[in-house]
Structure 1
C-alpha cells in the first residue's frame, strides 16, 4: 500500500474502532479490544509491503517506476523487536546460577570440601556406607571442573555479587540486585493493590478490573531481561549446568545415613549447620537463603519466559502473574532477615528508588 493509503487507515481507524465497540454490549467489549489492536498492527504491516526495500528504492528513484511522488511510496513500518532480542537459554542459566549462588552463600560447597578433608585424614567415622563411597567417588573423579574462583567470577559477571575481579572487557551486570529487589517490590505492590481493590470494588464490571498497575512490573522485568542477557554470555550456561548437577549430587550425598550418623544429624541441613559451626566459623542463614533460592529462581524463570508485551490484556496478565505474588512476598520476607537486607526500608521506598523517584527524608 502507498503512504497515502496507510495515512487513511490510521486516520479512520479510531473512528471505526469507536463505532464498532459502541455497538457491542459492555460485557463483550473486552474480548474484542485485543483483536482490534492486533488487526490494526496487521494492517500497518501489510501497508509496508514486506520489508520495505522496494519503498526505499522508489524513494530514491531506483525502483521499477523510477521517481514517484511521496504519496505513492510504500509506508515504512518499523518492527519493534528490541524486547525480543534475548537468548532464552542464557536467561534460564542465570536463574539456575542464582539458585546455585544462594547455596554457595549457605556454605554447601565448603561443607563438602570439609567432609572430603575429614574423610581423607580419617577424622570422620565412616568407612563402607553410601556416604563413604560418595566421598570416594568425588575425590577420585573430581566432577566439578569449575573452581571457587570460576564460580565467583560468574556470580560477579551475572549478578555483581562477591568481590572477585571481573575479567577485563567483560560485561558486569551492576544493577542486578537493585532491579531484582525492585521487581520483587513491584509484584508485591501489585498484589497488595489488588487486595485493596477487592475490598472497595462494587459493580459487576469493576469486579473484574485489576486494581494494580502492570506497567512498572513490565518495565523492570524488561530491564532485567536485557541486563541478564548481555552479561551471561560465555561459560555461564555450561557452568550453571555442570555446577547444578554437582549441587544435586552433593545434596544427595549429605543426606546419606552414614554421614548423618557421623554428625548425629537428622537431615542433610543439620549436617550443613553442624559442619559450618565446627569448621567454617558459623552458619550462614540457611533458612532465609533456601527461600531466596527457591523464590528467586522461580521469578527469574518467569522473567525469562514472559515477553511483557505492552498491549497485553490486564485480566490475562493478572491471571499469569498471580502465582508469582507469593514468591515475591516470600523472597522479600526472607531477604529482610539476612544481613544484606536489613537496610530494606519497605516495598514502596524500594520501588521509588528503582524508578528514580525521590523518597521522603
Structure 2
C-alpha cells in the first residue's frame, strides 16, 4: 500500500509525463488524432499496472488505521507517511454474462408470444381434439398429441406473463412472485438503441461531408457507453431467479411449436408454404387479428442481438478504434429494431436527446412507452385512484398497490 506522499508523487509524475509528451508531439497529434488516443491508452495502462502492483503487495492488518491515528510503534510521524488506498473495483466492471443473455432470449420469446405463436398452436390443439380439422395420423397430428401430453410439465402461460412483467416490464400487475415490475426496461432499451443509431448516423455524415473524415472528435462514445451501462445495470437486478431455466424451457417449447406448424400435414391443411404462413393463416381465420408477424419477428431477432452484445464487456472499452469495431456488430440490428418499433408506434427516433435524466424514469420521456390495448382491453382503475393520462405516453396509476405503473406492452 502506497504512502500518501508516494501516491501524490505518482500522480504528479504521470501528469508531468503527459504534459511533456503532448509538448514534444504537438504537431503530430493535431494531424493524427489516433496517435493521441494510443499515447493516452498506454499511459493509462502504466497507471493501472502501478495500481494493481500496489494492491497485490503486503497490506497492513488494520488497513493503516493505527498508523493514521498515531497508535503503536508504526505510528506515522508525518502525514505523508500514512498509507492510502487507491480505490475499489469499478461498479460497472462486473456483469454476469449468462443472466444478460437470458434476458435477450426472454425478449425474443416475448415478441413471439405477442405475434401469437403459442395461441396458434393451442387453437390447433383444440381443433385437433374436437375433430374440426382434417388431421389424423401425420407428423403434425402426432406432434400435437405429444404437445398436449407434455403440457403439465411446462411453465404455464401465466408463468411466462409474470416473467415478462418482472424482467421486461411488459404486461400488467405485479411480476412473478409478487415482485416489482421492471417498468424502466423499455425506456432504457429504446434509449440505448437510439444512441447507437445516432452514433453511426453521425459517423456516416462525418465520413461524407467533413474534412479529415477519420477525425474521431465528431460523435461521443461516452454517450453510447452511458446509455448501455444504464440498461445493463437495470438488467443486473431483474435477471435473478428462475429466468434462466424458464427461458431454456420456453425456447425449446418455441422450437417444438414451429416443428408442429412446419409439419407437412399441417401446412397442407392451410395451403401454406412454411410455418410462418400457417401462423398468419390461423391468426386471420380464427382470431381475426391484424398481422404483425414481420416487424415483431425482426424486433425479436435484432433486440436479442443488442442485448447479447451488452452481455460482454464491450461497452467498457475506452479506445475509440476498438469501441467502434465492437459497436459495429449491433449497428444494423439497432437501426432495424428502431425502424420496426417506430413503424408499430412502440418507440420513436430522437435527434437531439442525447442523455436521459433519471427524473424521467417511469414517465413519458426520451423513449416514451406506448399502449397496444384496444378500448375493450383498457383496465378499470384500481382501488386508490383513477388512471391519469400522460402526454406522449401511457397513463400511470396514482395510488393503488404501491403506485404500480399501468399496463405497458411494447
- Same-fold status (TM-score > 0.5): yes
Pick the aligned partner of 1:323 from 326, 329, 334: 329
Pick the aligned partner of 1:100 from 103, 109, 115: 109
Instruction: Specify whether residues 216 and 16 from structure 1 end up closer, same or farther in structure 2 by C-alpha distance, changes over 3 A only.
Output: same
Q: Hey, what does 1:83 align to over in structure 2?
A: 92
Q: Hey, what does 1:149 align to over in structure 2?
A: 158
Instruction: Specify whether residues 169 and 119 from structure 1 end up closer, same or farther in structure 2 by C-alpha distance, changes over 3 A only.
Output: closer
Mapped to 2, the partners of 1:143 and 1:168 lie a distance apart of 20
- Shifted more, 71-80 versus 266-275: the winner is 71-80
Mapped to 2, the partners of 1:82 and 1:284 lie a distance apart of 44
1:287-324 CA-partner distances (Å, limit 9, x unpaired): 11011001100000111213522x70112111111121
Q: Hey, what does 1:312 align to over in structure 2?
A: 318
Q: Please list every run of 5 or more consecutive structure 1 residues that lacks an aligned counterpart in the other structure.
A: none
Q: Is the 8 A contact 2:76 2:82 kept in 1?
A: no
Deviation at residue 233 of structure 1 after TM alignment:
0.9
1:135-161 CA-partner distances (Å, limit 9, x unpaired): 111112227611111111100011110
Matched, 1:230 2:237: yes
| Other structure's SS at 2:351 match | helix
Once the two structures are superposed, the pairs formed by residues 124-273 of structure 1 within 5 Å of their partners are 124-142=133-151, 145-167=154-176, 170-203=179-212, 207-209=214-216, 211-273=218-280
Mapped to 2, the partners of 1:321 and 1:307 lie a distance apart of 8
Deviation at residue 274 of structure 1 after TM alignment:
1.1
Instruction: Specify whether residues 250 and 317 from structure 1 end up closer, same or farther in structure 2 by C-alpha distance, changes over 3 A only.
Output: same
- Shifted more, 66-75 versus 95-104: the winner is 66-75
Q: Is the 8 A contact 1:129 1:258 kept in 2?
A: yes
Mapped to 2, the partners of 1:80 and 1:128 lie a distance apart of 62
Instruction: Specify whether residues 45 and 353 from structure 1 end up closer, same or farther in structure 2 by C-alpha distance, changes over 3 A only.
Output: closer
Mapped to 1, the partners of 2:353 and 2:185 lie a distance apart of 14
Q: Is the 8 A contact 1:188 1:328 kept in 2?
A: yes
Q: Is the 8 A contact 1:181 1:350 kept in 2?
A: no
Pick the aligned partner of 1:347 from 345, 350, 371: 350
Instruction: Specify whether residues 194 and 50 from structure 1 end up closer, same or farther in structure 2 by C-alpha distance, changes over 3 A only.
Output: farther
Matched positions, count: 354
Q: Hey, what does 1:287 align to over in structure 2?
A: 294
Mapped to 2, the partners of 1:339 and 1:39 lie a distance apart of 49
Instruction: Specify whether residues 144 and 196 from structure 1 end up closer, same or farther in structure 2 by C-alpha distance, changes over 3 A only.
Output: farther
Q: Is the 8 A contact 1:6 1:47 kept in 2?
A: no
1:182-205 CA-partner distances (Å, limit 9, x unpaired): 1111011001100111023334xx
Deviation at residue 284 of structure 1 after TM alignment:
4.2
Deviation at residue 170 of structure 1 after TM alignment:
2.0
Q: Hey, what does 1:11 align to over in structure 2?
A: 12
Deviation at residue 227 of structure 1 after TM alignment:
0.8
Q: Is the 8 A contact 2:164 2:175 kept in 1?
A: no
Deviation at residue 56 of structure 1 after TM alignment:
3.2
Deviation at residue 100 of structure 1 after TM alignment:
0.2
Tell which has more relative contact order, 1 or 2 (C-alpha 8 A, sep 6+).
1
Mapped to 1, the partners of 2:322 and 2:133 lie a distance apart of 56
Q: Hey, what does 1:277 align to over in structure 2?
A: 284
TM-score, normalisation: structure 2: 0.79
Q: Is the 8 A contact 1:54 1:63 kept in 2?
A: no
Q: Is the 8 A contact 1:143 1:246 kept in 2?
A: no
Deviation at residue 122 of structure 1 after TM alignment:
1.2
TM-score, normalisation: structure 1: 0.89
| Other structure's SS at 1:319 match | helix
Mapped to 2, the partners of 1:46 and 1:352 lie a distance apart of 37
Mapped to 2, the partners of 1:144 and 1:339 lie a distance apart of 37
Mapped to 1, the partners of 2:72 and 2:255 lie a distance apart of 62
Q: Hey, what does 2:382 align to over in structure 1?
A: none
Q: Please list every run of 5 or more consecutive structure 2 residues that lacks an aligned counterpart in the other structure.
A: 367-391, 393-410
